Chain A
Amino acid sequence: MKKIKIFQTLIIGLLLATVVSCTKKTASNESVLNLAVSSKVKGMDPIYSNDRYSSNEVARVYEGLLEYHYLKRPYTLKPNLADGMPTVSADGLTYTFQIKKGVMFHDDAAFTNGKGRELVAEDFVYSIKRLADPKLQGLGYWLLDGKIIGLDEWRAKYAELPKADYTDEVAGLKATGKYTLQFKLKKSFPQFLYSLAMPFTFAVAKEVVEKYGEEFLNHPVGTGPFLLPRFEQSNKITYTKNKAFREKKYPCDGSPELKAQGYMADCGKILPLTDKIVVNIIVESQPRWLNFQKGKVEYISVPKDNFEAAIPDAKNLDPKFVEKGVRLSVTPSLDVTYTAYNHDKKLFNNVKLRQAMSLAYNVEESNKLFYNNTAMPAQSVVPPGIAGHIPNYKNPYRGSGTPANIEAAKKLLAEAGYPNGEGLPEISYDCPSSTTSRQTGEFFKKQMAQIGIKINVITNPWPELQKKITNRNVDLYGIAWGADYPDAENFLQLLYGPNRSPGANGSGYNNPEFNKLFASSATMQDSPERTALYEKMYRIAAEEMPWIYGVHRQSYTVVNGWLKNYMSTDFEAGQGSYLRIDLDQKKKLLEKF
């Protein structure tokens, strides 16, 4: 009896000792990056990563040919798994990549001897065919739809057959050598390279896909900086550092403004800079916010409802956060909110009417009411931060509620043929049925009433609004657009006549001059000439007022003092490996929490 008791005490004591030593070790030596995300992750298969949350997770394990330079703004592509940027043929249709040598997949039972093998060009051919495989119904095919020679045909062919044959060659997608990959495009598409930086086209290994079959979604095996042996649908995903990660270094070049802010301190260090990433999935904004306040999460974007408490003057953090070493990172988002006219209606072909309505709309006030005064009034269609935006351009038809604006608007309205709104029918304004959208509609109605235009606000469930826009059963509608890739083309296409709905141009704006400029810029590579064309279109879109522009939003992120190298970005995929935890500082700062 006694003997057993002693034995028990010993075991308990031992257990306790291990626990204590373990926790101690975690606290002092291991650098763990704790993140909070607001949505469940669908899985770890690149071809299904069509939302921001899934693609961020996929990009911790998998990598692509290209990535965005971490320290360059405007966003610039740089090679990742590719060994240098591709060579492009003179006609701009053939892209030839060299793949980095010696890049290894993570160790996994699917490979011979369980050791990860080297990545070759054929892996990309396989991965992109997987994206096109009609049987798998990948969610990113739109990206390459109609772009690569033979790929659409390959996809169409196997839609009818029971199983896609990956050995069946596609003319436009070939590994011409062990490390050489060649794409042939149907027509010039300068934005093509951006699609190679999106997680959809990241490299997977054939052996792993075949071994795990449907379970592949939960068995991520890539070449990336972090390992996740098994993905489980839970509220916590824990990644560990890939010790065999190739020698990838923190960049030593970048934009001067980022250099000035001290983002280059880690220049030349081997990535990743943390041992572990813990992703906490916290759907509700309030618990997320509380976790941040306790120091359990490294950074979080400020929930709208807590904005005033955190950033009382809309510029600086509340002192109680500053004391704890928290800093605020404000970055413009690549987006634009707008109220579109339905250009199919004769009424809105009247430029002066459009200009008058825009002048009567007080954008400053709407910024104050709906964005805590943090957004930037949009002057035209392209947001700041990408080529094509003209920095100090002031749209002459932008209203800010001054008596002069209202006078000018009334004058324009009279010139348009509707003095004081007489002769104008009641105009309907369609918006989604969320509270904020309805309030935006009410605000719009109030603004238009100032110059005698009657607006009828109609709220719709989101799918119904989409349908109404596609069927062109609207007069005006309020909506927003966020960038798919950092190119003004992604915004300007919204006004390109031939793109009318069901394409992206929901307003049906059709201006031959604009169309001509767009068509000629669409096949041009990034160059000053193309930027000049973009800017020309920017000006047309400003003066013609095909929409009433709203704002370009900004993201407000609070960051704990011990997290280094963080900045908010529109393209977060792959960011995790650049972030560093300053453990000493964390210890010190945590005492203040």
Chain B
Amino acid sequence: MSETKTQKSKSLWQHAFSELTRDKLAMLCLTVVIVYAISAIASALGFIGADWAKEVGPSYAPPSGDHIFGLDIFGRSVFDKMVKGTEVAMSIGLVTALISMVIGVTLGATAGYFGGKIDEFIVWFYTTFTSIPYIMLLVAITFILGKGLVAIYLALGLTSWVGLCRLIRGEVIRHKDREYVHAAAAIGGGDFRKLFLHILPNVLHIVIINFSLQFQTAIKAEVILSFLGLGVQGRPSWGTMIDDAKLELARGVWWQLAAATLAMWIVVLSLNILGDALRDALDPKLKGK
């Protein structure tokens, strides 16, 4: 009985979920991301990779049965460094995507919904903001905040919200004169209620897709920052591993580069595919294709 009932009134989210579960590749990617997330949490709690700083063998020992990705200049396990780097990368991806989501959605929705002077001001603000070259802004923020994880969270989060803000603003403008919004107004809903309870759920799919794409952009940005020496200090990250490899390659030490690139490649690719699949599943316009 109840089964038939749910089938009848399948919501957008349930549709999306069943769509997504049917996509094998997307499920695989989701699993990969979950595995990364679990290893990041395990490493943060000290279950794995805690001994990355320990010298376990001679300098630059090549990959072997004991050390699957070999050892670095100080004889530390490259595998452990890669795992510890996962923690950094995943936390940066998550926090950055959250920060940019909060700012982007709030400003975008406000601008789109209220329009007028508020809209003008917010649009002026983000167009001005984006005219500053992205990497310079990042460098400036890391210089002000000093170096460390928090600075990178903020630097990346504060510089990556504009795209989402634009999208949300456009969507909200499209939605705010729809019948269901007028209906909400007719039964006495205020601005807050209309915006957050009625409009926002209808544009949420954009936020989710953007979140997954932002996640991987942040991971890549962290690697670039660390490569330039502006990133994480005093703990391994994929970027610093690649920076090390720059010199090591001439003496034939390829494993550090391989480990970091592989780890990054897998998670970025997974997030990209997952993002695409989410869009396919969530975007009403693509439904049925």
A residues whose Cβ falls under 8 Å from a Cβ of B = 304-306, 308, 368-369, 433-436, 438-439, 442-443, 445-446, 449, 456-459, 461
Contact indicator B233/A456 (Cβ below 8 Å): yes
Given known contacts A308-B251, A369-B59, A369-B74, is B229 in contact with A433 (CB within 8 Å)? yes
Contact indicator B247/A305 (Cβ below 8 Å): yes
15 A-B contact pairs sorted by A residue (CB < 8 Å):
A305-B251, A308-B251, A368-B59, A433-B228, A433-B229, A433-B230, A434-B229, A436-B247, A438-B240, A438-B243, A446-B53, A456-B233, A457-B234, A459-B233, A461-B229
Rounded to whole angstroms, the CA-CA distance of A308 and B234 in the bound complex is 29
Task: Please tell me which one of the listed residues A445, A449, A459 contacts residue B229 in the complex, with CB atoms under 8 A apart.
Answer: A459
Q: How far is the CB of A233 from chain B (nearest CB, A)?
A: 30
Contacts of A439 in B (CB 8 A): 73, 244
| B246 interfacial by beta-carbon distance below 8 Å | yes
Rounded to whole angstroms, the CA-CA distance of A436 and B59 in the bound complex is 15
B residues whose Cβ falls under 8 Å from a Cβ of A = 53, 55, 59, 73-74, 147, 228-230, 233-234, 240, 243-244, 246-247, 250-251
Rounded to whole angstroms, the CA-CA distance of A433 and B246 in the bound complex is 14
Lowest 5 A-B CB distances belong to which pairs?
Answer: A305-B250, A433-B229, A459-B229, A435-B243, A457-B234
Given known contacts A369-B59, A442-B74, A446-B53, is B233 in contact with A458 (CB within 8 Å)? yes
Given known contacts A446-B53, A446-B74, is B247 in contact with A435 (CB within 8 Å)? yes
Rounded to whole angstroms, the CA-CA distance of A575 and B28 in the bound complex is 67
Given known contacts A433-B229, A438-B229, A458-B147, is B246 in contact with A445 (CB within 8 Å)? no
Contacts of B234 in A (CB 8 A): 442, 445, 456-457
Given known contacts A369-B74, A456-B233, is B250 in contact with A306 (CB within 8 Å)? yes
Contact indicator B233/A369 (Cβ below 8 Å): no
Contacts of A433 in B (CB 8 A): 228-230
Contacts of A369 in B (CB 8 A): 59, 73-74
Contacts of B53 in A (CB 8 A): 446, 449
Contact indicator B244/A435 (Cβ below 8 Å): yes
Most chain B CB neighbours (cut-off 10 Å) among A436, A438, A445: A438
Contacts of B228 in A (CB 8 A): 433
Contacts of B59 in A (CB 8 A): 368-369
Contacts of A435 in B (CB 8 A): 243-244, 246-247
Task: Please tell me which one of the listed residues A434, A443, A457 contacts residue B233 in the complex, with CB atoms under 8 A apart.
Answer: A457
Q: How far is the CB of A309 from chain B (nearest CB, A)?
A: 8
Rounded to whole angstroms, the CA-CA distance of A435 and B240 in the bound complex is 8
Contact indicator A443/B74 (Cβ below 8 Å): yes
Q: How far is the CB of B207 from chain A (nearest CB, A)?
A: 36
- Nearest A-chain residue to B147, judged by Cβ: A458
Contacts of B243 in A (CB 8 A): 435, 438
- List 11 additional A-B contacts (Cβ < 8 Å) besides A369-B74, A446-B53, A456-B234: A304-B247, A305-B251, A306-B250, A433-B229, A436-B247, A439-B73, A442-B74, A445-B234, A446-B55, A458-B233, A459-B147
- Nearest A-chain residue to B240, judged by Cβ: A438
Q: How far is the CB of B256 from chain A (nearest CB, A)?
A: 11
Rounded to whole angstroms, the CA-CA distance of A304 and B229 in the bound complex is 21
- Nearest A-chain residue to B139, judged by Cβ: A461
- Nearest B-chain residue to A309, judged by Cβ: B251
Rounded to whole angstroms, the CA-CA distance of A436 and B250 in the bound complex is 14
Q: How far is the CB of B248 from chain A (nearest CB, A)?
A: 9
- Nearest A-chain residue to B245, judged by Cβ: A435
Rounded to whole angstroms, the CA-CA distance of A436 and B240 in the bound complex is 11
Rounded to whole angstroms, the CA-CA distance of A456 and B251 in the bound complex is 29
Contacts of A456 in B (CB 8 A): 233-234
Rounded to whole angstroms, the CA-CA distance of A459 and B240 in the bound complex is 12
Q: How far is the CB of B259 from chain A (nearest CB, A)?
A: 17
Contacts of B73 in A (CB 8 A): 369, 439
Q: How far is the CB of A150 from chain B (nearest CB, A)?
A: 46
- Nearest B-chain residue to A441, judged by Cβ: B234
Contacts of A459 in B (CB 8 A): 147, 229, 233
Rounded to whole angstroms, the CA-CA distance of A434 and B240 in the bound complex is 11
Rounded to whole angstroms, the CA-CA distance of A99 and B103 in the bound complex is 77
- Nearest A-chain residue to B72, judged by Cβ: A439
Q: How far is the CB of B66 from chain A (nearest CB, A)?
A: 21
Q: How far is the CB of B12 from chain A (nearest CB, A)?
A: 49
Rounded to whole angstroms, the CA-CA distance of A458 and B53 in the bound complex is 18
Contacts of A434 in B (CB 8 A): 229
Contacts of B244 in A (CB 8 A): 435, 439
Contacts of A457 in B (CB 8 A): 233-234
Q: How far is the CB of A250 from chain B (nearest CB, A)?
A: 39
Rounded to whole angstroms, the CA-CA distance of A457 and B250 in the bound complex is 26
Rounded to whole angstroms, the CA-CA distance of A439 and B59 in the bound complex is 13
Rounded to whole angstroms, the CA-CA distance of A77 and B147 in the bound complex is 49
Rounded to whole angstroms, the CA-CA distance of A369 and B251 in the bound complex is 13
Q: How far is the CB of A467 from chain B (nearest CB, A)?
A: 12
- Nearest B-chain residue to A307, judged by Cβ: B251
- Nearest A-chain residue to B229, judged by Cβ: A433
Rounded to whole angstroms, the CA-CA distance of A433 and B233 in the bound complex is 11
Contacts of A449 in B (CB 8 A): 53
Rounded to whole angstroms, the CA-CA distance of A187 and B173 in the bound complex is 80
Contacts of A458 in B (CB 8 A): 147, 233
Contacts of A368 in B (CB 8 A): 59
Q: How far is the CB of B135 from chain A (nearest CB, A)?
A: 14
Rounded to whole angstroms, the CA-CA distance of A446 and B233 in the bound complex is 14
- Nearest B-chain residue to A305, judged by Cβ: B250
Rounded to whole angstroms, the CA-CA distance of A230 and B18 in the bound complex is 79
- Nearest A-chain residue to B236, judged by Cβ: A442
Rounded to whole angstroms, the CA-CA distance of A339 and B84 in the bound complex is 29
Rounded to whole angstroms, the CA-CA distance of A304 and B246 in the bound complex is 13
